[in-house]
Structure 1
Amino acid sequence: MPKVNTDLSVEQREELLRELKTRFEKNGNRHEGIEWAQVQAKLEADPEKLWSLSEMERTGGEPDVVGHDKETDEYIFYDCSKESPKGRRSVCYDREALESRKKHKPENSVMDMAAAMGIDLLTEEEYRELQKLGDFDTKTSSWVKTPADIRKRGGALFCDRRYNTVFVYHNGADSYYAARGFRGSLRV
């Protein structure tokens, strides 16, 4: 796979930082006790992570800080768009699932897209934590990281919120739908 240019121009960096700061200030319930200046300092010190956040933003994820890991001193970002990010829908779970499709293959897979963006797929536990911060995926669904024993049997997991409840479902890993994408996380 060719190396992707992860350099942002000064203007792109400034615009992204403005957007992230605005979202951070509007959604204080997601990151109580965390100061934006400290987050921004970490972002400015790590251009590749800033690029990954720009990819999350570009694909409709609306990334925001949802926590701080005191042990590693990392800020945790999740995709916080109300619905599954528009630029990451209609994809099957992984490369193996993509290659197994005989007809009507999607353009990409969740795991390949996440890797190219430099982000991790939310786990079921992280997805449930996100849902404590608001009502997400009330009209869409999002693939979540699938345990190896389920994936080995051809399945993959996805989640959504209906009836004020978070549900976890399974599907064949090679399936894809216009209303199913994926949410990512990034540690900075």
Structure 2
Amino acid sequence: MNTIKKKLLPEQSEELLETLKARFEKNMNRHAGLEWAKIQAKLEADPAKLWSLDEMEISGGEPDVVGYDRETNEYIFYDCSAESPKGRRSICYDHQALEARKEHKPENSALNMATDMGIEILNEEQYRGLQKLGKFDTKTSSWVKTPSDIRKLGGAIFCDRRYDTVFVYHNGAESYYAARGFRGSLRV
């Protein structure tokens, strides 16, 4: 992807930072003890990461800070929308699955979209961690990073929350549904 496209205009950056700050302040339970000014400084120093967060926002992910990694000095953002991001649904798992479909191909795949956005798809452990911060995907589901042994056999896994419990399921990687998307993470 063109690196010029991975930089926001100053007014876009300002608007996104205001949105992220308001979300950060509204949801302090997700990031107790962290300071917005330090996060904003890191974001302003890395325009490509700010661009990725904007892609998460545009597609309905409502990214928010969910942690800080002391070893790497990175803040961790996850998609925190109540349901799987609307702009990332009706997609199969990966490019191989997309190419395998002979009819009724979806427009894209979760892994392709994540790569294009400069983010990582959540794995099962991260997804379960997100669910400790609130109730997510009570009406939708989200693809999660699938272990290679499952993927080699043609499958992929996804998660959701029903009956106040996080469930992990499987499907053929080429399947797609209007209520299934994916959630991403970004380290800054």
Q: Scaled by the length of structure 1, what TM-score is found?
A: 0.99
Give 1:105's aligned residue.
105
Matches within 5 A, 1:38-187: 38-187=38-187
Question: Partners in 2 of 1:49 and 1:8 — Cα distance?
Answer: 10
Give the letter aligned to residue 149 of structure 1: D
Q: Scaled by the length of structure 2, what TM-score is found?
A: 0.99
Question: Partners in 2 of 1:87 and 1:131 — Cα distance?
Answer: 21
Give the letter aligned to residue 131 of structure 1: Q
Question: Partners in 2 of 1:118 and 1:153 — Cα distance?
Answer: 27
Question: Partners in 2 of 1:69 and 1:87 — Cα distance?
Answer: 29
Question: Partners in 1 of 2:2 and 2:46 — Cα distance?
Answer: 18
| 3-state SS in 1 of match to 2:6 | coil
Per-residue CA deviation, residues 6-37 of structure 1 (Å, 9 max, x unaligned), is: 12111100000000000000000000000000
Question: Partners in 2 of 1:139 and 1:110 — Cα distance?
Answer: 19
Per-residue CA deviation, residues 58-86 of structure 1 (Å, 9 max, x unaligned), is: 00000000000000000000000000000
CA RMSD of aligned residues (A): 0.6
Runs of 4+ in 1 over 3 A off after TM superposition: none
Shift of residue 3, structure 1, vs aligned partner: 2.0
Give the letter aligned to residue 122 of structure 2: L
Q: How many residues align?
A: 187
Question: Partners in 2 of 1:47 and 1:128 — Cα distance?
Answer: 29
Identity %: 75
Give 1:7's aligned residue.
7
| 3-state SS in 2 of match to 1:146 | coil
Give 2:35's aligned residue.
35
Give the letter aligned to residue 172 of structure 1: G
Question: Partners in 1 of 2:120 and 2:161 — Cα distance?
Answer: 21
Give the letter aligned to residue 44 of structure 1: E
Shift of residue 94, structure 1, vs aligned partner: 0.4
| 3-state SS in 1 of match to 2:150 | helix
Question: Partners in 2 of 1:74 and 1:80 — Cα distance?
Answer: 18
Q: Which runs of 5+ in 1 are unaligned?
A: none
Question: Partners in 1 of 2:73 and 2:175 — Cα distance?
Answer: 38
Question: Partners in 2 of 1:111 and 1:127 — Cα distance?
Answer: 16
Give the letter aligned to residue 161 of structure 1: R
Give the letter aligned to residue 3 of structure 1: N
